[in-house]
Structure 1
Amino acid sequence: MFSGSGAAHSFKDAGIFWSLLMVLSFMLQGADTVMKEIIFIDSKKRLKGASLDLFVVNSYGSIFQVICIALLLPFLSKLWGIPFNQLPSYLRDGGACFLNIGAKTTGCEGAPLLPIMFVMMNMAYNISLLRLIKISSAVVSSLASTVSVPIAVYFFTLPLPYLGVASSLPTGFVAGTVILVLGMLLYAWTPSSQTPDSVIPSPPST
């Protein structure tokens, strides 16, 4: 996450590759949201009107995230510039930093309280998005998730503890955020023409 005095430089120095990679990440997130909406709609039929537990969906999603990250570790380690044979030592040092134990841990101020708070907030965020999908639609959830990104970036530029010196955001970023928020408000205020019978068809039973 962008924070401190280097926030503006991070936005300006980002190349086309990283911009496209960010767009791709949002596309994958959107596909994930649509799939979860289909799961919730289909569960009403398969469970005969019973409600699908949010924690079940979130747990399965987290498990598959762990599996995907584990499979991508060779690629990610190369992308991070870490030799794959040194990855276990990096993970060990990361665990020590997370728990803030050991004499060689530096730059781990606030651990383990801050990492645990991050994990708890991340779980609450994911469950909130699942709840939003369940009571509304994948489009609303994707818009809410997209709007939360620039808001989070803005808060990370404030003079908060452990973040260093605050910095101002580029004009283009502020303009893009305004357009994004206005687009979401326009969508929220536009009357829906969807009929109660227009639902996503469920996949064939196996």
Structure 2
Amino acid sequence: MRGYTFFVAQSCAAAYVAVYFSVLAVRRRRGMVAADAPAAARRTHGRTFAVIGALEATAFAIQLYAAGRLPGSLISVLNQAVLPFSMTASAVLLGRRYNAAQVGGAAIVIAGVLLCIAPSAVGLGAVASSKAAAAAAAAAGVGSAGGGAGGAAVAIHAALFASTMALIGVVVVLKERLLKVGGLDVFIVNSYGSLAQCVATAALLPLSVRLAAGGTPVGAYVRAGIAALTGATSPYMPWLTLAYICANLTFNIAALNLVRCSSAVVALLASLFTVPLTSLVFCLPLPLLVATPFSWWFVGGLAVISSGVLLYNKGGK
């Protein structure tokens, strides 16, 4: 699906809408959500839902395009660029202020992330993995995640991926405001945000075609994308997409519940623990993937990230 990431994004958005609205309907029948709460939320916060959907759709489309051209071990590290953006958005939109310990903790976390990315920066990880993926894909006669373009291409796509974290940082804070200030149920926020994302993703089809296929006619791109999604070109489809959607739904619900119980920034800090661990997993000989060379930088990065999270939490008490 490297050339048809629009269909992955649209499938995810459609699945979000179906699952979240189904759960919301059950919660209304059981009295866990007031019968008029969804309609009231739509009237009061309709513009906020639209902004959330547009930002998520744009970020997701660009992320999938860039991720298809990056080694897996680098993607989880780049996700952490959301931390400074979310702290800035929290200060602007929620009026939250951070003390020196919290700012220092966040800085240490970023330093830990940079330690994880160091092998890629000097050509030991991302570039090597990219070239290995290109060689393996060339032998199989298919496109690779690295595209065979070397370090420059990796750097460009990494920067593109990281830039979308500014959009995600705003989205996370807007959802926190809806949950805490607006008092909305988590599935109301998810349902209407996902509906807006689904509409916005469809509207971004021309951009997706432009990014992934250049001058290919939209009709031809759609037909080829549907064929790839439904398994006409790979025996692993659509099962890989379905597994991804299930994992994504589980993660999003858990993350939003953590936001509701604590804050957007705390939820993001908690997710930082997965960065070096995910990078280490990608060093294993996993099916369908090219293993990234192991580096002790990942282990050192985990230790630094952990100390930063502890400092941030201490400063918040």
TM score, norm. by length of structure 1: 0.68
- Structure 1 residues 27 and 82 mapped into 2: Cα distance closer, same or farther (>3 Å)? same
1:25 aligned partner: 164
Alignment partners' CA distance in 1, 2:219 and 2:279? 31
Could you tell me which amino acid in structure 2 is paired with residue 94 of structure 1?
A: G
3-state SS, counterpart of residue 220 of structure 2: helix
Alignment partners' CA distance in 1, 2:249 and 2:271? 14
Moved more, 54-63 or 7-16: 7-16
3-state SS, counterpart of residue 119 of structure 1: helix
Could you tell me which amino acid in structure 1 is paired with residue 269 of structure 2?
A: L
- Structure 1 residues 177 and 82 mapped into 2: Cα distance closer, same or farther (>3 Å)? farther
Alignment partners' CA distance in 2, 1:169 and 1:88? 43
Residues 1:134 and 2:266 are matched in the alignment? no
1:36 aligned partner: 175
Of the candidates 283, 294, 308, which is equivalent to residue 183 of structure 1? 308
Could you tell me which amino acid in structure 2 is paired with residue 39 of structure 1?
A: L
1:75 aligned partner: 207
Measured against aligned partners, the alpha-carbon deviations of 1:78-111 in whole angstroms (never above 9, x if no partner) come to 22233252x33333333233322xxxx33x2322
- On the 8 A contact 1:3/1:157 being kept in 2, the answer is no
Report the CA distance between 1:139 and its aligned residue.
Answer: 0.6
Could you tell me which amino acid in structure 2 is paired with residue 7 of structure 1?
A: S
- On the 8 A contact 1:33/1:142 being kept in 2, the answer is no
Q: Which runs of 5+ in 2 are unaligned?
A: 1-66, 74-125, 132-145
Matches within 5 A, 1:188-203: 188=313, 190-193=314-317
Query: Identity of aligned pairs, percent?
Result: 33
Q: Which has the higher helix share?
A: 2
Measured against aligned partners, the alpha-carbon deviations of 1:169-198 in whole angstroms (never above 9, x if no partner) come to 56766655554443223323x1524xxxxx
TM score, norm. by length of structure 2: 0.47
Alignment partners' CA distance in 1, 2:274 and 2:189? 22
Matches within 5 A, 1:92-171: 92-100=223-231, 105-106=232-233, 108-148=234-274, 151-163=277-289, 165-169=290-294
Alignment partners' CA distance in 1, 2:296 and 2:152? 14
- On the 8 A contact 1:147/1:180 being kept in 2, the answer is yes
Measured against aligned partners, the alpha-carbon deviations of 1:1-52 in whole angstroms (never above 9, x if no partner) come to 42599635559445654444333222221111111111011233xxxxxxx3
1:199 aligned partner: none
Residues 1:89 and 2:215 are matched in the alignment? no
Alignment partners' CA distance in 2, 1:152 and 1:116? 21
Measured against aligned partners, the alpha-carbon deviations of 1:53-76 in whole angstroms (never above 9, x if no partner) come to 322222222222223323333233
- On the 8 A contact 1:77/1:84 being kept in 2, the answer is yes
- Structure 1 residues 147 and 111 mapped into 2: Cα distance closer, same or farther (>3 Å)? same
Q: Which runs of 5+ in 1 are unaligned?
A: 45-51, 194-206
1:60 aligned partner: 192
- On the 8 A contact 2:179/2:186 being kept in 1, the answer is no
- Cα RMSD after superposing both structures: 3.2
1:7 aligned partner: 129
- Structure 1 residues 145 and 95 mapped into 2: Cα distance closer, same or farther (>3 Å)? farther
